[in-house]
Amino acid sequence: MLKLALGKVFSLRFLNSLTIMKKKVAPKINLNYLVFSIAIVVFILVEILFYQFYHYVPIKLNGKDLKAVRGETVENFLTRIKKMPKYGRLIDVEGKAIAGAKGEPPKIWVNNKFANPSYSVKNEDKIATQNGKDTKEEIKTALETVQSKIVYKGKGAFIYVIKRGRPGLKMVEKGQVSKKVVSDKWKLKPVDFTIGRINIRYRKVVALTFDDGPSKYTGQILKILKQYKAKASFFVVGRLVEKRAKLLKLMAGRGYTIGNHTYNHIPLNKNVPKKIKNELQKTKREIKKAAGIETKWVRPPWGLLNSSAINFVLKEKYHISLWNIDTSDWKRKSPRKIKEKVLNNLKSGQVILLHDGGGNRGNTVQALPQIIKGIKEAGYRLVSLEDMYRLVE
């Protein structure tokens, strides 16, 4: 009886333990949470069905069944699936494709009609594409100026004509895009120029010249020149004269020579007569407007000329000044090296090239007092280009 009673007690305790465990393990179900979760699942399924049966529309592309996004442009669709037709190539006169050039444009049809790339794709549209065809570039015929050669004699800073030449004229057929020549025929053959370069002899004079201004450094240079009572000449860039007209007027008022260095600092040897004339005349007008003087001096940028430039300069009765000593101060050389380049190469009649514009000219400004002192201590006199030109023998 005792064993039976103990067994019943143990069984009741065991059942009570299981009941407690069930209460702890099985939490209460939140009905709101369950409803919300079901709603999310339903929403996702609806979205999938929407995209499958409404967002995408069936179309045909070159006979193949595909799906496009409803309302997207035909250009976006073709680009997205990497089926956008390409332009044809532009073929040059030698039969080679021209890099970066386009031939015939590609074609797009929608439902057998030419379509604009911005057309919006619709259900059951039939799209067809075709790459553009290769096309040949057009051949252009033009009368071209051919510059004559320039033969220099001598090493002086001033230029004069020994034998006058002229440019030639040639009828040229060439590819409009590639510029490759198909044929050419002389209408007038060029005649070479022979140009003399002369210098001053037996006179201990030199000339300081400054190119590429006026700039913020020009005012500093003018103060130094005034302090040491030194003459100098300035070859100015027309577009910069417009910005510093008052400074140019001051330079002219102090008697410094002002010369023409083109309006945009262009190489005259690589330009046509019309461009050369425009560059020099615009600068001449700006100098006249700012300083009230008619300049008769020209220095071609980098010293580069062609026969058209020489013809125009001669016609306008300009004097051309080059140089004998190039300090290369535009390379940002140290003040010491700039000074040494001048003083180690001094000779009678030398024209010295410096720069007051075109970049940082702080080193040129620092070197200038020592250059002027060194020139005077060597027994040379600083003169203007006008003075030096009168002394040419």
Assess whether 355 carries a catalytic annotation: yes
Work out whether strand 107-110 and strand 126-130 pair parallel, antiparallel, or are unpaired. Answer: antiparallel
| Distance separating alpha carbons of residues 35 and 19, to the nearest angstrom | 29
Catalytic-role residue among 125, 212, 329, 355: 355
| Distance separating alpha carbons of residues 6 and 12, to the nearest angstrom | 10
Return phi, psi of residue 220, to 5°: -65, -40
The answer to whether 161 touches 119, Cβ cutoff 8 Å, is no
| Distance separating alpha carbons of residues 311 and 317, to the nearest angstrom | 10
The answer to whether 139 touches 93, Cβ cutoff 8 Å, is yes
Query: What does each C-alpha distance from 119 to 68, 107, 110, 235, 283 come to in angstroms?
Result: 13, 13, 9, 60, 54
Assess whether 319 carries a catalytic annotation: no
- For residue 260, give every residue at least 6 positions away whose Cβ sits within 8 Å of its Cβ, in sequence order, or none: 235, 236, 238, 280, 283, 284, 287, 295, 297, 298, 299, 318
| Distance separating alpha carbons of residues 244 and 251, to the nearest angstrom | 11
Tell me the longest C-alpha to C-alpha distance in the chain: 154
The answer to whether 230 touches 382, Cβ cutoff 8 Å, is yes
Catalytic-role residue among 92, 125, 211, 356: 211
What is the identity of the amino acid at 304?
L
Q: Which residues are catalytic?
A: 211, 355
